[in-house]
Amino acid sequence: MSAPVEHKLSNGVTVLYEKVPGVKVVSVQCWIKTGSVNENDKLSGISHFLEHMLFNGTKKFKPGEIDEYLDAKGGYNNAFTSLDVTNYYVTIPTDEAEAAYEVVSDMVFNALLLQSEIDREKPVVLQEINRKYDDPSYKMWQDLQATLFEGTPYSRQVIGSSKTVSEFTREEIVDYYNRFYHPENMTLVVVGDIEQDKAIELAGKYFNQIRSVPAGTRYKGENPVTFKSPVNKSFTADVNVDYAVFAYPTGRQNINTVYAEEVFGEILSGGEYSLLNEVIKNQNKTAIYVTDIGLFNHYNGLFGAMAVVPKGNGEKFKNEAVAIINDIAQGKLDEKRLEKAKNRLKSKNIFDEENVSSLAQNIGYAYVLDFKDYHLNYEKGIDAVTLADVAEAAKRMTSGPMYFGITSNN
């Protein structure tokens, strides 16, 4: 795949443009290099809260008007916040593309952050936090993240806590917005059926705005993970089955090994034809549902597997899954399984790139997290993976101390 066209606005905003002819739509996405990683204990959840607030009033749009305005033009908009980044995006017919630039730029530069809207939005986010506890395994997942990323800001939940969200002041929200929603932290991704000159012209018209304050200091991975010893945890919930998970810290992804790691994950749990499903779920009946898990941040990550199992089967699931991983690490795979996994991954990537919004997200993630070669060389990288590469990936990704957790009604 060819690289997107890169352009820098005079205020520091990076523009990435990719032409997709014939689709008659365009996706305009503004990626902000901030998420919960740039928060502190007091401000935990402020990035996610701010994402909500940007839909509640800007200089051009009153609260509630953005959705109505875009809907009338056939557009779709949404946003998400992660540990590392926040993204605002609109996908819209090409002949209405300017509306997408207009809306997204006004959100990221000119949000009003009215006290009345802050007061109205807090109960919404607090309800969202409370709903997470409807998942009986949520406490286990919270603990897993806090333990494996111990010592780093990645240990905090993106959504924050009821306490922190309740106590946010308008001054704190405005200050965070001005410092981190800064041109230096913005990457505008434009993908679709729009000419390059027009895409860059609209970027300059709407996104070449300035901030009167310096950009906030972003996390640069200076805190090493302090999780060094295996951990076994038990959690109690009103459940009729057990939830089990194990995971290892993996460190930061490396472009030289990432494709082998993806193929390893696909072989392990890529659908019904994966080893976890074939052996643990279908053959041994140890699990009702089983999959691998992975969370790969800018500066560290984790890898493992989880399952919903009949009561008392958590330890058995872990042992069977680890045995499968050990077999892979010892090279007990055949070329046929390897090729099927590689073909599935390449097929998924092809389908992703037929959708302008998905393609724009792939580009945004890769470039904003300084991993752009991953996206550009995806098919070539997957094709080059050998059985030996997969074995090494299995060893490397499971070499650290294990976190093992079970949620049950005991």
The stretch 309-315 carries a mean pLDDT of 97
- Dihedral angle of Cα 341, 347, 350, 352, to the nearest 10 degrees: -80
User: Which pLDDT does position 214 carry in this prediction?
Assistant: 96
Confidence at residue 2, expressed as pLDDT on a 0 to 100 scale: 80
Q: For residue 353, is pLDDT > 90?
A: no
The whole-number average pLDDT for the span 98-121 is 98
In the predicted model, is pLDDT for residue 337 greater than 70?
Answer: yes
pLDDT band with cut points at 50, 70 and 90 for residue 1: low
The 10s digit of each residue's pLDDT in 180-233 is 999 999 999 999 999 999 999 999 999 999 999 999 999 999 999 999 999 999
**What does the block give as tokens for 33?**
């290099």
- Mean local confidence (pLDDT), 313-332: 97
When mean pLDDT is compared across 167-171, 173-177, 271-275, 388-392, the lowest value belongs to 271-275
How far lies 195's CA from each of 20, 40, 89, 161, 200, in Å?
9, 42, 19, 44, 9
Res. 271: pLDDT tops 90: no
What is the C-alpha separation between 203 and 95, in angstroms, rounded?
16
> What pLDDT does residue 307 have?
96
* pLDDT band at 170; cut points 50, 70, 90: very high
Q: How far apart are CA 314 and CA 245, in angstroms?
A: 8
pLDDT digits (tens, 9 = 90+) for 242-255: 999 999 999 999 99
Residue 14's pLDDT band (cuts 50, 70, 90): very high
**Cα-based torsion angle of the residue sequence 365, 371, 373, 376 in order, rounded to the nearest 10 degrees:** 0
Interval 372-381 mean pLDDT? 93
Q: Residue 136 corresponds to which amino acid?
A: P
User: Mean pLDDT throughout 389-405?
Assistant: 97
Q: Please compute the mean of the pLDDT values over residues 73-80 and round it to a whole number.
A: 96
Q: Given this model, what pLDDT does residue 410 score?
A: 79
Within 8 A by CB and 6+ apart from 15, the residues are 6, 7, 8, 9, 187, 188, 190, 199, 200, 203, 207
Residue 277 clears pLDDT 90, i.e. is over it: yes
Mean pLDDT score of the chain: 96
User: Which domains can be identified in the chain, with CATH numbers?
Assistant: 5-207 (3.30.830.10), 231-408 (3.30.830.10)
pLDDT > 70 in the chain, percent: 100
CB atoms within 10 A of CB 253: 20
Residue 26: pLDDT band with limits 50, 70, 90: very high
